[in-house]
Amino acid sequence: MSIRIVRIHNELLGTYGDRGNADVLAFRAGLAGVKAHIVDVSYRDELPDDGDIYLLGGAEDAAQVLSCKALKGFDFTSRVVLAVCAGFQILGNSYFAGGVKQEGLGVIDMETIPGSSRFVGDIKIYSDVVNVELTGFENHGGQTNLAGGITPLGRVITGSGNGAGGVDGAVVGNVFGTYLHGPVLARNPEFADLLLERALGRELSRVNDPLADQYAAWRRAVIK
């Protein structure tokens, strides 16, 4: 049993260190006895069709536009996807970059507009989807408005998240979006395991990584 983790356009979507999400998934898969391969895909290359988990990270506006253009036509809807910040925004119907409205990939029914100010700092949410508090660090100018009926990833306890509705992120099928950097999976191992379970189509045998659990608990306690 093995899984392929596709890290998309790290040269564009790597500004905020979200590349670490792939490493956490591979590490925890290994602890559960599942071999994992990380496949790095440049924006000049086609995305492989045979990935099990697809990862999009945060970026500055110009890089975000380039990445989005390169991804046009790829069908994310039926896949397991984790998209952070800029990666999350481009999955919507539209977003702004450099003050100009841009067409998104239309995977999640939502739009991102310029926020009243930049949202920067520690963030904590409670996620009914992952069933736990999630912590991270956010740094974005965009405010994301979910269409009615779109499930958020969680309810904001501290910070801004989407900047609207008191929520962060969105979940559609196996497509997960969030504003949490960290990398989010290093801060929240339960979220990593959920993505692995969705990719494998079965429950993961107990992953034993006490340091990751300690780190997650510490951040949850420190961010009030």
Distance in Å, CB of 141 to ligand GLN, minimum: 4
How far is 37 from 107, CA to CA, in rounded Å? 25
- Is 181 considered catalytic here? yes
Q: Establish if 122 lies at the interface with ligand GLN (CB under 6 A).
A: no
Name which of 47 and 85 has its Cβ closer to ligand GLN. 85
Task: Please state whether beta strands 53-56 and 170-172 pair in parallel, antiparallel, or not at all (unpaired).
Answer: unpaired
Contact call for residues 52 and 36 (beta carbons, < 8 A): no
User: Which residue number, 71 or 207, has a Cβ lying nearer to ligand GLN?
Assistant: 71
Nearer Cβ to ligand GLN, position 61 or 197?
61
d(CA 57, CA 81): 11
Q: Does 142 contact ligand GLN by CB under 6 A?
A: yes
Residue 68 designated active-site:
no
Question: Least distance (Å) from ligand GLN to the CB of residue 103?
Answer: 16
* Residue of 9, 68, 140, 181 marked active site: 181
Query: How far is residue 106's CA from residue 224's CA, in Å, rounded to a whole number?
Result: 35
Q: How far is the CB of 144 from ligand GLN (least distance, A)?
A: 9
Cβ-Cβ contacts under 8 Å for 138 (sequence gap 6 or more): 85, 119, 120, 121, 123, 159, 160, 161, 179, 180, 181
Scan residues 59-118 and list those touching ligand GLN (CB under 6 A). 59-61, 64, 85-86
Q: Is 177 in the site for ligand GLN (CB under 6 A)?
A: no
Strands across the sheet containing 170-172: 35-41, 2-8, 53-56, 81-84, 175-178, 170-172
Q: Which residues bind ligand GLN (CB under 6 A)?
A: 16, 58-61, 64, 85-86, 139-142
Annotated active-site positions, please? 85, 181
